[in-house]
């Protein structure tokens, strides 16, 4: 459903809601305010329409068929084509936990359906205006920079992998099981691993394992943190499991690796002194 008015529209709003009848009042108010309206009936359709039409604002329910509101938000914010589009949650699920969760995942606003329609329209207008100004700035920057090659669009695989990479980097000490990662991007195990193989050439498990080892090596080389603390920071429950994983990956224990790095740094420093 796509409706526009003959006069210049204030902004293009994409609504994502499994029950479009519940939106009739606010949509009528937006049309009266010269907004152009497009409606998607589930989260996956909303994601696809957002990429296709690039609206000024996306207004979504928190509970959606096929792809729920929070996973939809993650995908939109991870895709370079939609990351700057404000996403507003317009929902009856108006509890503090839902509000915080939505805002933490990149939502620009959280509006209760109990609010008057004129207030909802005013808040959507504010975000549409910000979005349009940002889009104008982006276009000016692109005109001054190297032209962007046509056809370079993020695939679903790239978006899913980007979401998981960001989540893993920010939550390395937490549980990063394949089940949890699948839930994060609303994919099954086979589909997620295929996405990682297409983008990274490895499975999700191998990516997380290698990220933990790279982070551990960096901390061993650049800090005086205890091995146990490093183990916990990169997601191991105890130092013994960490030592075994590190040995399998690097061929030496964490302590031996740290000593090797320190000897190398000391040797390099002595050479610099002799050369002066």
- 155-164 per-position pLDDT tens digit: 888 999 999 9
CA angle, 94 as apex, 43 and 12 as ends, to 5°?
45
In the block, residue with structure tokens 């994601």: 47
How does strand 87-91 pair with strand 109-112? parallel
Same domain? For 37 and 66 the reply is yes
User: How does residue 270 score in pLDDT terms, banded at 50, 70 and 90?
Assistant: low
Q: Mean pLDDT for the chain?
A: 86
- Position 136 scores a pLDDT of 77
Same domain? For 114 and 168 the reply is no
Mean pLDDT of 132-149: 65
| Number of domains, the chain | 2
Mean pLDDT of 183-191: 92
Mean pLDDT of 191-203: 92
Mean pLDDT of 231-253: 92
Query: What range does the domain containing 9 cover?
Result: 2-144
CATH number of the structural domain spanning residue 44: 3.40.50.2300
- Position 264 scores a pLDDT of 85
- Position 144 scores a pLDDT of 54
Same domain? For 189 and 58 the reply is no
- Position 268 scores a pLDDT of 63
Least confident of 20-29, 56-65, 152-161, 178-187: 152-161
- Position 143 scores a pLDDT of 52
- Position 5 scores a pLDDT of 36
Same domain? For 132 and 45 the reply is yes
- Position 170 scores a pLDDT of 86
Total H helices, total E strands in the chain:
12, 6
In the block, residue with structure tokens 């964490």: 254
- Position 73 scores a pLDDT of 94
Same domain? For 88 and 160 the reply is no
Same domain? For 14 and 136 the reply is yes
Same domain? For 129 and 173 the reply is no
């Amino acid at each position: 459903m796509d409706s526009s008015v003959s006069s210049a529209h204030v902004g293009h709003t994409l609504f994502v809601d499994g029950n479009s009848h519940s939106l009739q009042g606010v949509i009528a108010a937006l049309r009266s305010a010269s907004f152009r309206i497009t409606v998607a009936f589930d989260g996956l359709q909303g994601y696809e329409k957002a990429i296709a039409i690039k609206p000024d604002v996306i207004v979504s329910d928190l509970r959606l068929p096929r792809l729920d509101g929070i996973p939809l938000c993650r995908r939109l914010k991870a895709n370079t084509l939609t990351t700057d589009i404000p996403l507003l949650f317009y929902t009856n699920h108006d509890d503090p936990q839902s509000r915080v969760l939505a805002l933490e995942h990149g939502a620009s606003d959280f509006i209760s359906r109990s609010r008057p329609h004129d207030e909802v329209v005013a808040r959507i207008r504010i975000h549409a205006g910000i979005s349009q100004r940002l889009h104008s700035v982006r276009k000016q920057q692109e005109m001054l920079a190297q032209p962007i090659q046509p056809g370079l669009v993020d695939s679903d695989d790239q978006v899913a992998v980007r979401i998981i990479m960001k989540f893993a980097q920010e939550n390395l000490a937490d549980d990063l099981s394949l089940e949890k990662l699948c839930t994060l991007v609303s994919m099954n195990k086979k589909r997620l691993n295929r996405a990682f193989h297409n983008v990274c050439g490895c499975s999700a498990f191998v990516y997380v394992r290698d990220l933990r080892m790279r982070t551990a090596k960096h901390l061993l080389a650049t800090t005086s943190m205890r091995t146990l603390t490093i183990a916990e920071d990169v997601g191991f429950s105890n130092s013994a499991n960490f030592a075994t994983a590190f040995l399998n990956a690097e061929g030496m224990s964490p302590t031996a690796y740290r000593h090797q790095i320190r000897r190398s740094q000391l040797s390099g420093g002595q050479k610099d002194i002799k050369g002066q």
